[in-house]
Amino acid sequence: MSYLGAQGSYRVVRPADSRRNLVLEPTAGGSAPRFVLAACIGASLPGTVHDPHLEPVDTARGGQRWRLACREGEFDLDVRGVEVLESHPQLFDATLASFSLKSRDRLAVRWLLGLLRLPGGARLLRAWHARRS
């Protein structure tokens, strides 16, 4: 059973802030998912993998032994967990539309923020925000 079956090419990244995490980032960008292999120990991977498939090898040990199969070969890895990060920006367009300011409001905010450094500027900004809410 293939746990992860992705199409396309993925860049293999080891972030500097995490010791053993491994990130598979899509090279094409777009809406392709990004994969994070937590606490990954095993064979060194090439810089780019194509059409990666991740499947558990040894489930008796709690499913921590995995095999990453791709066009470049098969790699045995010890992985604590796998995260799939997908971005769907179109889901937020309708939600964020109600928070966007009209051009008149943007001009007022710019003017009020300019007045903030003057005495009473914060009071003017709070009053405008209270009237708008």
For the stretch 88-120, pLDDT in tens is 777 777 777 777 778 888 888 888 788 888 888
pTM over 0.75: no
For the stretch 12-45, pLDDT in tens is 887 665 567 888 888 876 677 888 888 888 778 8
Residue with structure tokens 């937590």? 38
* Cross-strand bridge partners of residue 83: 36
Phi, psi of 70 (to 5 degrees): -150, -175
d(CA 6, CA 66): 16
Domain map (residue ranges) of the chain: 4-85, 100-132
- Running DSSP on this structure, what letter comes out for residue 107? H
pLDDT grade for 1, boundaries at 50, 70 and 90:
very low
d(CA 47, CA 26): 12
